[in-house]
Amino acid sequence: MLQRALGHTGLSVSRLGLGTAMWGTQVDEHEARDLLGTYVDAGGTLVDTAVMYGAGASEELLGRLMGEVGREQLVVASKGGFRAGPDGPVRDTSRRTLLQNLDTSLERLRTDHVDLWQVHVWSDAAPVEETMAALDQAVTSGRARYVGVCNYAGWQLAQAATWQRAIPGRVPLASTQEEYSLLNRDLEREVLPAARSTGLGVLPYSPLGGGVLTGKYRTGTPAHSRGAGRLSASVDRYLDDHGRAVVEGVARAADGLGWTPLQVALVWVRDRPGVTAPIVGARTATQLKDVLGVEGLTLPPEIVAALDDVSGD
């Protein structure tokens, strides 16, 4: 798999990342082992998790499996920014909580450092300078090699990135992780320009729109799909008239190219200007092999223009 630099850094990652949000809950250890092995065998390096995924089950499972493929082969990314509350996780980007999250992640992952550590969400629980100071401390202490943010609005991203570059000695941000697909192009308005101007790589998550762009919901909701379970809200929002038009456009492009809709939708995101690596969350090795099949594919410019048109506001 081809590698790309993560923003203006010396860190290279594969141009498709492996997401583990379902590991330990919807993906058991046997399936996770197959996923990780298949991904690494294909040349994949970037594996993304978070302290809150599966209440810690994702990191624990990844930590058990990393030794089997070789920790040195992986670019391990995790995230912090939550603490336990009486009604579930609470956003908290204070230095205390963030560094506690990091130590918890390292223990679960059975490693002394993560390659990319990210603030999972923006929060008003702490000023941006305190949040960024936690990232500085993570790097200077050797517990993280690079740092980034997730789910920041354009102005938030610009503020954080500019703050880190304002004074020598602060650790510059490497990346931002945001939702991005043919069904959700919101980040193009402000986030992508902010990332481009501050030298950050972009790691899109949900590049297939919760699976909607694969075409699986064109004639109904499959029994064991995300749309039929507790994550149905992430799918339902794309099953409107606009979403159906986009899916039909993707299907027509796939038919014309002899590709699958998955391949069309994923290659579109992967090759957008400013994107470093979409994060894909396959549940089985069979699904992942379909995803990895896009490696040698490139969309013709006229198809890209048609998809841009049908998916635009």
Q: Which residues are identified as catalytic?
A: 53
Cβ neighbours around 87 below 10 Å, total: 6
Q: How far apart are CA 93 and CA 284, in angstroms?
A: 33
The beta-strand segments (E) located in the chain are 3-5, 12-14, 17-19, 46-48, 75-80, 82-85, 88-91, 114-119, 144-150, 175-179, 201-205, 279-280
Q: What does the DSSP assignment read for 162-193? A: HHHHHSBTBPPP-EEEEE-BTTB-GGGTTHHH
State the amino acid at position 230 in one-letter form: R
For residues 13 and 17, what is the distance between their CA atoms, to the nearest angstrom? Answer: 8
List of residues 6+ apart from 168 with CB closer than 8 A = none
